[in-house]
Structure 1
Amino acid sequence: MEIINDREEKLELTYPCSWCYKLIANEKEALEEAVSDVIDKREHKLTHSKSSKGGKYISMNLDILVHNEDDRNFIYEALKAHQHIKMVL
């Protein structure tokens, strides 16, 4: 078995900082609703990224200020667990 990246480097960020999540869902309205459910009234920017060739999927970028690593990971996990979101990158 070949190990591609055997380094155990930790991402070093200075908080608070802006973070971008790429979200993939079946439809724009459902994705917008999911973001609203997860981040409530926190200030953010949600912008269109791409749509799949057949129009089955849409991706959007969510830019938000995260306050610490726990905050960043909580948002990621909450978005990933939401029923309307297919994938979070």
Structure 2
Amino acid sequence: MDAFARCKAQIDYPCVWQYKLIGADRQALQAAVAAQLGDAPYSLSDSRQSGGGKYLSMNLEVSVDSDEQRRSLHLALAGHPAVKMVL
């Protein structure tokens, strides 16, 4: 067993997962989330703004049912042009 397999966290699904989205425009980030989640319930709130004001971050909380769904949403958000980074 490699070190990664030994350190992998056990996640019990379904659960509420948190993502931090970083981008340049609040409305564009909101639209990116809405495009991916549609009518699914979620919470999106402001987090921080960079010192120069060029970037902002938002916290997204959403219920996920599986590891596959959690990873798929991460990839979909990261691939949206309005999203610079997903943590």
Structure 2-normalised TM-score?
A: 0.92
The answer to which structure has the higher helix fraction is 2
- Match for residue 33 of structure 2 among 18, 30, 35: 35
Question: Matched residues in 2 for 1:78 and 1:11: separation?
Answer: 22
**Other structure's SS at 2:3 match:** coil
Q: Which runs of 4+ in 1 moved over 2 A?
A: none
- Match for residue 7 of structure 1 among 3, 9, 34: 3
**Other structure's SS at 1:62 match:** strand
Question: Matched residues in 2 for 1:39 and 1:11: separation?
Answer: 25
Unaligned runs of 5+ in 1: 1-5
- Percent of pairs identical after alignment? 40
Question: Matched residues in 2 for 1:13 and 1:25: separation?
Answer: 28
- Match for residue 54 of structure 2 among 44, 53, 56: 56
Q: Residue type matched to 2:19 in 1?
A: Y
Give the aligned length.
Answer: 84
What are the superposed Cα offsets for residues 49-82 of structure 1, whole Å, 9 maximum, x if unpaired? 1001111001000000000000100100000000
Question: Matched residues in 1 for 2:31 and 2:23: separation?
Answer: 11
What are the superposed Cα offsets for residues 24-58 of structure 1, whole Å, 9 maximum, x if unpaired? 00010010000011111110000111001111001
Unaligned runs of 5+ in 2: none
